[in-house]
Structures are given as C-alpha cells and as structure tokens.
Structure 1
Amino acid sequence: MKQQYLERAGAFETTAEALKKKYNRYSLVRLLLFVAAVGLGIYLWTGVHLLAGAVFTLAFLYAFYRFILWHQDIQQEERHHRRLAAVNRLEAGVLDHEYASFQNGGEFSDPEHPYSLDLDLFGDYSFFQYLNRAGTALGRERLADYLRHPADPAAIQQRQAAIAELQKMLDWRQHFQAFSLETEDSLAHLQLLKRWLEEPPFVSNRPWLVAALYVSPFWALAGLVLFILYLPWYVAILFLLPPAWILKATKEQVDKAHVQTTQAEGTLAHYARLLRHIEGQGFETPLLQALHRLLELPGGKLASDAIHRLSYIIGQLNVRYNFFAIFLNLGGLWDLQWACRLERWKGSLKENLPQWFEAIAEFEALSSLGNLYCNNPEWAFPIVHDAPRLEGEALGHPLIRRDKRVSNDITVPTDGHIKL
C-alpha cells in the first residue's frame, strides 16, 4: 500500500506541474490578448465607427472575463492536485506510524469523560489523530462524537457497511479529502449562521420596503439626469434623502444579519465543492444512500448550487466593506437588495442547510474510518451483541507499530470485570 501511495503522489505531482506550465503559458496569452484588444479597440473607436468600437468592446470584455475564469480554473486544478499529492505522501508516512501532522482533536478532550483520557482518544499521538482525515470542523466534530458517544447496534452495523464501501473508493475519498483541505471553517461561525436562520425577516415581509428596492435605482437615475441637465446640486441632493433615510432606519437589522453571515462566505463556497463531489457519486449501502438523499431538491436542483448561491449573496453583502459602497447604497439600496435576497434564500431553503451540514459531517467521519480500514485491511469489524461479554482474537493496541505490537486473544465479562 505504501508503494501505491508514493506512486499516486508522484502522478499527482506530475499533473500539477503540467497544469502549472499550462497556467503560465496562458498568462502570457492573456497579456498579449489584452494588449491586442486595446489596440484594436482604439482603432475601431477612432478610425472606423463608434458603434463598431462599442460592440467590439462589449464582446471582448465578456469573452475576456470568461477566459479569466477558465484560466483561474487551471490554477485551482493545479492546487487541487498538489493537495492530492500531499494526501498520498502523508498516507505513506502513516504506514510508518508518522501521523503527527494531522489535527489531534485536543479541543474535544474532556477530563470528565468516562474513558477518553484512559484510551488516548484525543491529543498528540492519539487515536483521533491517527484516524482523522476530516478537513472541516463539521467532520472533526462528528468523528469525535463517534468516539465519545456509543451508538446502538443497528447504527454500528450501518456504519460498518458504509465504511466497507468507502474503503474501496480510494480515488473518491482522496479527492473528497483534498477538497476539504481547502476549507478554513469554524464551528463558532457556523453557529452564527444557524442563529441567522432563526431570525425573522425584516425586508421581504414589508411591501413598502420591497417596492423601494425596485424604485430606488430609477429614482437615483432620475436625480442624476436632472442634475446633469439643469438642477443645481443643492436641489439634486434632495434625491438622496429618501434612500439615506431608509438605510438609516434599517441599518441595525442589516448589520445584525451581516455579522451573523459574513464569516461564512468562503466556508460555504468550499462546502459547495464537497457537496458537488458527493452529488456526483452513487452509493450502494443504505447509510450512504440516505445521506446522499439529503442533498436532493425538487425539480432536480442541486444542493451544491444552492449553497454556492448563498455564499455569493453573502459576498455581495460584504461589498459594504468597500469605499464605493456608499454610492451603491444611495443609488440602489445595495445592502437591502442583498439582505432581501438572503431572506428569500432562507425562506425557501432554511430547513435544508442543516441537513447539508449533516451530510458533510457524516461523509468526512465515515471517510476517515474508510481510510483507516484501507490502511489496515486485516482489521476485523466487531460483531455487536447484547451479551455482557467481550471476546476477541489477536487484539492489539492500534497506536503501536505492527512490528512491535503484541496481540492476544481475550475473553472477559463486561459486567463489572476488568482485565489489565
């Protein structure tokens, strides 16, 4: 297995280098295209016709924008393959019992827990660190819950089947892990977002305010035209008073919604990639199929697109940080436009967002266990029964190297007995 990991690391690194060269090559093309287009545009504007210049400029700006997006996708692919190479190098090290670079789950350590300290579940060189492949805070918390809270036999059997399926899906698991490694999330920020879900609307439930959102751009345009044509500035400025009053009246509520959502913009964009990866894969075991169904929306819509849309809306509300936001607000009530879109998104998908978080958390926890089984295929799935008895053959400590581990058969009653 170690050789396979090293070979995969080399292959992904080779692909990343090829993508880097492609990106650099098209960086030059991008520059040359821009210079050539500027020259041609000047010629069309000045030497041919204003209409020809205008049509060319609009067409070029659109095409150049699409080219930039495609160019950025190449760079994103390169970084993804770098992460895939790193994932495989780390797994090769894990087979030599080198796993200190993984997050150790120290934040989940609880001195009051009945067994986590005795069993070295969390902290440096703990079982959590050996097991953990979750890149999101959601996944790490769920994996810690697996270790801290006993599950009933039916849930254990469902998880075992899911783990056995994921164990065989090496490529899918590693891409999922590489996507998760892009994510820098926080349970505190997600808690704020969940709190926002419970807040009542303050824009979309006021017809006069919704009407103002439609009217305000035309109102501002009318004021600008009148100012240019003949109105003195001290009269034209009166057109700014209604939007200024509306913004002042709603500022506190907009600020509250912004504080609760602003930190989630990047996190949700990364979550969208994880969901898209799950959506693109079919599963056979009941638990994985049930998790996959959590992502289904009416009309064939995708959860990944919906959560990416939420990230985009939050990003537009974050524009209020820019110096020119005052012009957007006075000219079109920018903050309220996007606060209203936030509320409409919440109104239609409020119940779905926690389910999508649940799917990400479960898939990361189960993928970590699938990876553990992949690295240790000789390990057995325990058979859970109701009798007060623990039996095992060749049981050994998972955190001791194979060549130094001493394994033993064991049979011990669990109703008050202990064996050291």
Structure 2
Amino acid sequence: MTIEAGVVPRATASRPAYAERARTWEAEAERQAARSRLVSNLRGLSFAVATVSFIALLAGGPAGVCVPLAVVGLSAFIALVVLHARVLDAQDLAERWVDVNRAALARSSHDFASIPDTGEGLAPPDHPYAADLDLFGRASLFQRLSVARTRVGRERLAELLLEPASTESVRERQRTVRALAADLDLRQRFEAHALGVAGAKPGTTRVRSAPNPELLFKWAESEPSLVHDAVSVWCSRILPPFTLASLVGYFAFGTTGIAPLVGLAAQAILLVRTARETSLAFSAVSASEGAFLRYGTLLEIIETLDTTDPLLVGLRDRLRTCLLYPLPSPRNGPNSLFLFFVEKKKAK
C-alpha cells in the first residue's frame, strides 16, 4: 500500500476489527501449533528408526537392510529439524500478531489493566510537567499511545513526550501519523516483528526490552589485544590441525599417543592464556546477536516503504544510503547487521 503524505484516512480500525484480526491470527497460531506437534512426532519416529537400525547393524543384522534404513531415518530427522524450526517461527509470529491486536483492542477500550507497559521510570523525577499531565504511569498518555516494543523505541517515545518541539516539527509528525494511520497492516507487521526483537514470549504480561547493545559496541570499539599476541595467534593456527592429525594417526595408524596428548594440553593452556579476552568477546556477541538478527526484518520494512511522506522518505533514504553495505537482514547474516549497528554508533 502506498503511504501518501497529508492524506487523512477515511476510517481507522475499530474494536470489532481488532477482535476479528486477533481471532484470525489465533486460528493461524493453532494451525501452526498442530503442524509443530505433527513434525515433532515425525522427528521422534525418524530418530527412532535411525537409532534402531544402527543398533541392529552393530548386533549383526543384515547390512543391506539396516544401512539404508539408518540413512533414510537420519536424513529425514535432519530435514524435519529444519522444518520444525520454520514451523515454530511461523507459530511464534502468529502469536505475536495475536498479542498486537489484543493490545490494540485494550487501548481502544481503555482497558489499561491489560496493557503492562506504563512507561514507569522513563521520566526524570524532577521533570516540570510529566507528573501533572500524567504522561507516564497507569492510564497515562504513554500507556494509551505506546506500541513501542524495543528499548530504544520506548525511550524515543518518552523523549518526544518530555521534550518541547517546534510548531513545524509537530506538524511534520502529525502529517506522518496521518500517512501511517491508513495502513494498519504495515503498522502491526512492524510491531509484531518488534516483539520478536524484544524477545517477549507471546501471551506474557511482563514488559521486556531488547538486549542492550552497549556491551557489543564497547567490545567492537575497544583496542584488540589478541592480534598483538603472536604466540597465541600462531598457536591457535597450528595446534588444532596438529592435534587432529595426531589423533587420526593414533587411531588409524597406531602412532604414539603422546602427540595428541601434547596437542590437547597445549590447547588447554592456550584457552587459559586467552580466557579473559575471549570471554569478553563471547559475552558481547551472545548477549546481542539474536536481537540484532531480528532487527533485520524491521530495517527491511523501513527500507521498502512505499511512501511520499517527507519524514518517512527521509528515514527510508537515510537507511538506504547510510552504509556501503547491503540491507542488514537475517538473509545477510549477523555480519552485515553487526556492521550496520557499529557504523550507526560511530556516526553519532
């Protein structure tokens, strides 16, 4: 759908529309859940076939029967693992769509008890008007307006409510709101994928924010130390193939067992030597990579916007031109997403 600047939508979604959309996505979630159970059972069956066939082969069963059955069972198991992951993703997305529409229904019905995010803690205690105008808290303006699901989204909405703006800025934002109001699917699709970034379990009432990427930024911008440690660098290159070759020689050709023991011991010493640096790197990446991968879909939605609204056009064009790298998305892998966020951090 094309988003046109300054066009006032003739109609907006009503409470019955939100309820109907929630029921539709509930049915889709149940369908995917049924598929998940079926695939899970087939996974178990294929694994059992492969295991029994392998045991039968070891027990002296006919190789002409056991080997094909084991290969087919193992191949089916691997394929079903991949399929099951996709089905679970589809089920999770459908459940997030349900949550999005239930939240919209609660906001339109003023059912604030069903909206867990009150924005508490986002306003400084000495703000001149936040408390007087009930900007945050139960039944507040923030609770009524917010569809922000990520940490940065919630903080940005709080900034817009707390900081003064020029008349022109306010009018520009209002034009953008009118442009987006007519495209419910776009807005809810963005919100549903943002729920995935936050990592909130569908159906939960607990407010969760996306992992804070500051740890990853701090590590990425720090001075590398291991690259200057020639001993560690060369040992990490030499020891793995040496240990593997010595193990193959020991088991296949009966060579001495001292060599693989030396290789394993040297690698253990190397791990201890580099433990501090590697633990920092692993902590930084493991704390943020999943969220960064899920950001890719949100960035793709923005980059492919079909709009004439100046504010949205500017946002889309900045995303398209801010990097020499392609659009970060799950298809591009974590590296492009990592580069995107690091470059954005440096640009601040």
Compute the displacement of 1:41 (Å): 6.1
- 1:180 aligns to 2:194 (yes or no): yes
Instruction: Give 2:282's match in structure 1, choosing from 258, 266, 287.
Output: 258
**Map 1:389-408 → 2, pairs under 5 A:** none
Matched, 1:103 2:93: no
Aligned residues: 320
- Matched to 1:72, the amino acid is A
Q: Are the counterparts in 1 of residues 130 and 136 from structure 2 also a CA contact under 8 Å?
A: yes
What TM-score results when the alignment is normalised by the length of structure 1? 0.64
In structure 2, do the counterparts of structure 1 residues 216 and 163 end up closer, same or farther at CA, with 3 Å as the change threshold?
Answer: farther
1:116 is matched with 130
Residue equivalent to 2:148: 134
The question of 1:169 aligning with 2:160 is answered no
Distance between the aligned counterparts of 1:53 and 1:103, measured in 2? 57
Q: How does 1:373-392 map to 2 (within 5 A)?
A: none
Q: Once structures 1 and 2 are overlaid, which stretch shifts more, 21-30 or 273-282?
A: 273-282
Seen in structure 2, the aligned counterparts of structure 1 residues 206 and 53 have a Cα distance that, compared at 3 Å, is farther
Counterpart amino acid of 2:177? I
Q: Report percent identity of matched pairs.
A: 28
Residue 352 in 1 paired to residue 343 in 2? yes
Q: Does 1:222 align with 2:245?
A: yes
Match of 1:270 in 2: 294
Tell me if the contact between 2:211 and 2:288 (Cα under 8 Å) persists in the aligned partners: no
User: 2: distance between equivalents of 1:221 and 1:127?
Assistant: 63
8 Å CA contact retained: 1:226, 1:236:
no
Output the CA distance in 1 between the equivalents of 2:257 and 2:43: 45
Letter in 2 for 1:47: P
Given candidates 172, 189, 192, the residue that maps to 2:215 is 192
Distance (Å, rounded) in 2 between the aligned partners of 1:305 and 1:202: 30
The one-letter code matched in structure 2 to 1:225 is V
Label 1:207 to 1:307 Cα distance change in 2 as closer, same or farther (>3 A). farther
* TM-score, with length taken from structure 2: 0.76
Residue by residue, what CA displacement relative to the aligned partner does 1:182-202 show, whole Å, maximum 9, x if unpaired? 324657832222222321223
State the SS of the aligned residue for 1:253.
helix
Q: Is the 8 A contact 1:272 1:308 kept in 2?
A: no
| Partner SS state of residue 17, structure 1 | helix
Q: For 1:307-326, what aligned pairs fall within 5 Å after superposition?
A: 308-309=333-334
User: Hey, what's the Cα distance between the residues in 1 that align with 2:88 and 2:334?
Assistant: 22
User: Is 1:8–2:21 an aligned residue pair?
Assistant: yes
Deviations 1:312-366 (A, max 9, x none): xxxxxxxxxxxxxxxxxxxxxxxxxxxxxxxx996x556435499x9xxxxxxxx
Say which is worse superposed, 11-20 or 209-218, in terms of deviation: 209-218
CA displacement 1:384-416 (0-9 Å, x = unmatched): xxxxxxxxxxxxxxxxxxxxxxxxxxxxxxxxx
Measure, in 1, the Cα distance between the counterparts of 2:249 and 2:50: 36
In the alignment, structure 1 segments of 5+ residues that lack a partner are: 311-343, 359-420
Give, in angstroms, the shift of residue 211 of structure 1: 4.5
Q: Distance in 1 between matches of 2:291 and 2:250?
A: 44
